[in-house]
Amino acid sequence: MKMIKKLFLPLFITISGALLGIEYLSPQTGKTAPVPEEERFNKQIAPAYTKLVDTLLENGQLREVPGMLESAKRVELQDYFGKESVLKHEAKIPDLDKHTAVLYPVLFPERTELILQFSDSICRTTIDVAGDKISKAAKRLHNNIQNRVSGRFIRQSRQLYDWLIGPIKARLIRRKIDTLITVPDGALRLIPMAGLFNGKTFLVHEYALGTTPSLYLTHPHSLPKENVQIMLNGLSEAVQDFSPLLNVPNELNKIQSLFEQSNVFLDQAFTLKRLKQNLNQTPYQIVHIASHGQFDNNPKNTFILTYDDKLTLDRLEKLISKRDAPVELLTLSACQTALGDERAALGLAGIAIKAGAGSALASLWSVNDESTAQIMEAFYTHLQKPTLSKAKALQKAQIQVASEQRFRHPAYWAAFIIIGNWL
């Protein structure tokens, strides 16, 4: 314990210094220089937390590890979105269903730790694979899996399954786990867990899957199944130098047919002003947006396209946070992260927390809009069933679309992830 306490002081000094923009010694010039904003967490804060987590593991204090990992993730979100962005969200340990497990992959220079949190216990599995090796495989998978006519992704997909899922599979089977939530770091935010391959089937055939940038900032609760009001927004026309999304009207019409209380705002009806008015006037539980969007490594450059403007994360947060009734699900069916950018992926992962929504359904890359329309229709169809969570509804939708010969490649369905509240 004395060793751990001694580590806290430099940890907090490191965090405070990084957030205040203290300079660092540049290896290129040998001179001090301000830490680039997009690098300060990885350069200054993350190594301190990694050292402390390592010490906790060495001292057998496994129960303390998730809390320390969550502290790091909270600081990382504050660093990305702004210091005040996530402070208003109460951080606490949520209750887990006995058939749900949460996976923290922790990447060390010489090994990887898989920390599994169950409803009543925590366990640790160590694998002899360097964190950098896993990160490189994740980046290659992110790039290769998007190529719809290539099977090059299979190698990385199988590797990552063997490294991240294989070592814990027996525990998951023994505990009868059917829902696996991942709290990823770094490059692991770029990969779709649904697309990991065991040699016969994809992980989506084994588990309902979800992701969250912070378990302690996630509040699992079931979505109301009756009298749900859904607002359907979309762009099909080419505006602001973006290409048309021809299947969006079909997507919105099919979803509208599933809900008694639904409204469609397409193209010229989907403006920033109209969106604000609609959110203020009607207590929509689900907000669906089928439009171009970009999650950038700088949150100020992250946006969702409306007919006349760009909906930034700050604007979205203000629109949703002022409502009396919470938005339970925010669906972004045509957005994407910057290719291979871990920091942009953090922005996507944190969208539900930043916007003040219970959860988000979004994609890691821009997906064929015909298969997107089918996944969305299937997702909302399954979501209306009383016993299905959002994660399980997405699982069934992805399996359904993947069963079609023309859409069997994971490029068409694996990109979609449930972020935040998976129930």
Boundaries of every domain in the chain: 2-81, 100-211, 229-420
Q: What is the CA radius of gyration of the chain?
A: 21
- Helical H segments across 104-228, by residue range: 131-144, 153-160, 169-174
Nearest by Cα to 207 from 222, 219, 195, 220:
195
Q: How far apart are CA 307 and CA 240, in angstroms?
A: 8
- pLDDT band at residue 387 under the 50/70/90 scheme: very high
Residue 247 phi, psi dihedral angles, 5° rounding: -90, 0
Give the mean pLDDT of 140-166.
96
Q: How far apart are CA 327 and CA 123, in angstroms?
A: 34
Burial of 132: CB neighbours in 10 Å, binned 0-12, 13-18, 19+: middle
C-beta atoms surrounding 188 within 10 Å: 24
238-247 tens-digit pLDDT:
999 999 999 9
Candidate from 259-268, 359-368, 410-419 with smallest mean pLDDT: 359-368
| pLDDT at residue 260 greater than cutoff 90 | yes
Burial of 202: CB neighbours in 10 Å, binned 0-12, 13-18, 19+: buried
Report the percentage of the chain scoring pLDDT > 90: 69
Q: Are 209 and 418 in contact (CB under 8 A)?
A: yes
What pLDDT is stored for residue 42 in this prediction? 76
What pLDDT is stored for residue 27 in this prediction? 40
Collapsing DSSP to helix, strand or coil, 187 comes out as helix
Q: How far apart are CA 163 and CA 58, in angstroms?
A: 22
Half-sphere exposure of 390 (CA within 13 A, CB side): 26
CA–CA–CA angle 144, 149, 152 (5° rounding) = 35
Which of 123-132, 294-303, 329-338 has the highest mean predicted lDDT (pLDDT)?
A: 123-132
What pLDDT is stored for residue 313 in this prediction? 87
Q: Are 51 and 59 in contact (CB under 8 A)?
A: no
Third-level CATH fold of 229-420: Rossmann fold (3.40.50)
Q: What is the pTM of this model?
A: 0.91
Q: Are 138 and 84 in contact (CB under 8 A)?
A: no
| pLDDT at residue 416 greater than cutoff 80 | yes
Alpha-carbon dihedral sign for residues 263, 264, 269, 271 = positive
Q: Are 102 and 117 in contact (CB under 8 A)?
A: yes
Tokens coding 195: 């697309």
Nearest by Cα to 105 from 45, 47, 163, 29:
163
> DSSP readout, 382-401?
HHTSTT--HHHHHHHHHHHH
Average pLDDT in the chain: 89
Give the mean pLDDT of 314-330.
88
Q: How far apart are CA 276 and CA 307, in angstroms?
A: 14
Give the mean pLDDT of 273-288.
95
Half-sphere exposure of 294 (CA within 13 A, CB side): 12
Half-sphere exposure of 148 (CA within 13 A, CB side): 14
Third-level CATH fold of 100-211: Nucleotidyltransferase; domain 5 (3.30.420)
Candidate from 16-20, 135-139, 364-368 with smallest mean pLDDT: 16-20
323-371 tens-digit pLDDT:
888 899 999 987 776 666 888 888 888 888 888 899 999 999 988 889 9
* Total residues belonging to the chain: 423
